[in-house]
A and B are shown apart, each in its own frame.
Chain A
Amino acid sequence: MYELIVLALGLPVVTALASLATRRRGLLKVMNAVSSLATCGLVFAIAAGVLRDGPFAWGWLYVDGLSVLLLVVVGLLTFTATLFSVSYMDTEADEGHIRPGLMGGYWALLQLFAFTMLAVLVVENLGLMWVGVEATTLASTLLVAFYFNRSALEAAWKYVMVCNVGILFALLGTILLYYAQLSAGGGGEALSRAALEALSGRLDPFLVKLAFVFILIGYGTKAGLAPMHTWLPDAHSQAPSPVSGLLSGALLSCALYVLIRNLGIVTAVLGSGFVQAALLLFGVLSVAVAVPFMLVQHDIKRLLAYSSVEHIGIVSFGLGVGTPLALYGAAFHILNHAVAKSALFYLAGIISQRYRTKHVMRIRGLLAAMPAVGTMFLVAVLAIVGTPPLNVFFSKFAIVAAAFAAGRPVLGALLLLLLAGVFAGMMYYTCRMVFGAAPGGLAPTPPGACALAAVGLSLAWVVGTGLYMPPVLDELLTRAAAQMFAATGGL
């Protein structure tokens, strides 16, 4: 197990260094695709090990059901993003949007980005987790800016400023937690989760509450919870499409994971009431803030970005409801949203390459122009808005049903109403884009086989787990939900 984790962390770093060393585009593509596939395989092996033997702890490393769920998300998305990049970034370079000489840098940053996310998920110490989250911002900033045109630079600047300030708040919260640990007698290792949990009876509740506020704001910024989401639409829409997929599916979930880990300490000291109220508030607010922007949005990638704010809000809402069913739904939703949304960003990338625009009103007749891509886009949008029998429906349904069952009918009804608004906005624009006659003057290049494979793989997952829940996935989600229950549901 130890070897597997070290390998999964080491492989992306080695690949990143190797990517900087060569300039041959063919070699870069093969090397990175193989490496990401291997990382994905290692992550699945770690998941299998945890499901078989239970949580694994060794020194600074710690992996349990919840980390494994997120590891699977990151591993899977890194693989699909790499596979998609293989043909997508080639086309971008051929069309002159990117200097071919920068491709090595792109691959290196992509691998380092994956490394930082994996590192966040396998460390036990809250301080080291902070270091990892900050590193994810730094690794992804230059990826967001990668086109180095005016809009990309603007997006990257806002991203790095907002997220750095946010993450410094989280550092303040972490320092306060450490102060609370020392004040309580400070047994065990500094900021170790196990040590803090063992001490939880003696931690000063006021200090912990103060720390919680800063931690929630800090990691909430990184997770894209409203009203700290302002960086998100810019960064997600200006990054290259594979990176948008990773940012939206993997990075937001990782930030949420760190938040949940910190909440474990907070609820042990303060009880669950305060924490759950805060999560419910931020959850509903995120969905509510996203809806009006989605109704009037004319940039396809910004539309998807606001949808990410909405979905993170739904997950936060599920965590706030806090019953086992809601948490199972939240765990399932993290996975479903990651796969479906990344597929949508990839498709948006293919579409904007073909139509040479991201403007929704100028994209028409997708089905006529590109039957396969059009069909996949339609399926992916139907999935993300929560249409049965696709898997996102089931996770959303579980969360909303749990809200009603837990005696929160008003909030549940409000969420349903907002989701109806999201459905209207997304479907209106999607129907405009998908149906009708194709305009002339489209780029002649067909989408690459690797790009289609990446999207196809994601959609197969979306459709497949909607129709049939494999026992091993059910087991994984149950374990993750149990960890979340311990963290947010109180004792």
Chain B
Amino acid sequence: MEILAVLLLISAFLLTRTTRLATAVHILLAQSAVVAAACAVAGWQAGEMHMFAAALLTVVVKAGLIPYALLRLVRLLKREREVNPVVGPNGSSLAAVAAMVLSYGLIERALPAVVSRDAVATAVALVLIGLFLIITRRQAIMQIVGLITVENGLYLLGLSTTRGLPLIIELGIFFDVLVMVTVMVILTFRLKRSFQTTDTSILKRLKG
């Protein structure tokens, strides 16, 4: 479990370094696969069948369908890359490290009774780094990647504090995430067609 937590932190750290969209999606794929593994490990330790189902769903949805859709979209977006993000890769990496320290501190204070401290701290760090990516990245794809990183973090948080939500709610969440990515892929595609770019910093006409 600790190894998986470290792998997840590395994946989040790498996300702050990359400016290529395809690389970011591949890192996301690896990250989701690790989350699935964590889910399976936790299920094996707890001896609960429904967590294996959730792990399988994670593999299918977050490591399968979503990266597939995003990679297909990236192939259409030739020559798009993250240029000139609000905070550059070096600053972002520094922020990621700060997020990790902050999340361990937060866990100490907010949830002292929690058993799997490393997993919870990793989850909070993933949420913070995902939010940071959404705020500082201009490419639509990068923002989607950030959003799914936040979702992965929350999923891990649920897993490590409560052994995951009941399966029916979990199913609903997976379905929502899948539809969410579909909708955002459609929007990104339309952005490319209307603006000839997927850099969202040009979206500033509506004001006041």
Partner-B contacts on A (CB < 8 A): 125, 127-128, 130-131, 134-135, 138, 141-142, 145, 148-151, 153-158, 160-161, 164-165, 168, 171-172, 175, 178-179, 182-183, 189-191, 206-207, 210, 233-234, 237-238, 293, 296-297, 302
Report Cα–Cα, A234/B208, bound state, in Å: 9
12 A-B contact pairs sorted by A residue (CB < 8 Å): A128-B172, A145-B187, A151-B206, A157-B200, A165-B131, A165-B134, A165-B150, A171-B154, A172-B157, A178-B165, A189-B166, A190-B165
Residue of B nearest to A171 (CB): B154
| Chain A binder among B61-69, B84-92, B175-183 | B175-183
Across the interface, do A172 and B208 meet the contact criterion of CB distance under 8 Å? no
Task: Report yes or no: B157 in contact with A175, Cβ–Cβ below 8 A.
Answer: yes
**Number of CB contacts from chain A to chain B under 8 A:** 112
- Report A358 CB to chain B, min CB distance, Å: 12
Indicate whether B203 reaches chain A with its CB closer than 8 angstroms: yes
Task: Name the prevailing secondary structure of the A interface residues.
Answer: helix
5 closest Cβ contacts across the A-B interface? A131-B172, A127-B169, A154-B203, A134-B176, A179-B161
CB B146 to nearest CB in A, in angstroms, measures 9
Per-residue interface assignment for chain B, residues 190 to 208, with 1 indicating a CB less than 8 Å from any chain A CB and 0 otherwise:
1100110000100111101
B183, A141: Cβ atoms closer than 8 Å: yes
Contact B154 A161 (CB under 8 A): no
User: Contact between B190 and A148 (Cβ–Cβ < 8 Å)?
Assistant: yes
Q: Is A125 touching B179 in the complex (CB atoms < 8 A)? A: no
A164–B180 CB distance below 8 A: yes
Pick the residue among A130, A153, A172, A234 that contacts B127 (CB under 8 A): A172
- Which B residues are closer than 8 A to A by beta carbons? 110-111, 113, 127, 131, 134, 140, 143, 147, 150-151, 154, 157-158, 161-162, 165-166, 168-169, 172-173, 175-176, 179-180, 183-184, 186-187, 190-191, 194-195, 200, 203-206, 208
Most chain A CB atoms below 10 A, which of B127, B151, B169, B172: B169
B176 x A158 contact (CB < 8 A):
no
On whether the beta carbons of A179 and B176 are closer than 8 Å, the reply is no
Q: Give CA–CA (A311, B50) in the complex, Å.
A: 44
Known: A127-B165, A164-B147. Is A153-B158 also a contact (CB below 8 A)?
no
Pair B191/A178 contact, Cβ less than 8 Å: no
Decide: B151 and A168 in contact? CB cutoff 8 A.
yes
Q: How many angstroms between the C-alpha atoms of A430 and B43 in the bound complex?
A: 62
Contact, CB under 8 Å: A158 / B203: yes
Cβ of B147 and Cβ of A165 under 8 Å apart?
yes
Bound form: Cα–Cα A172–B168 in Å: 17
Given A156-B187, A179-B162, A172 contacting B154 (CB threshold 8 A): yes
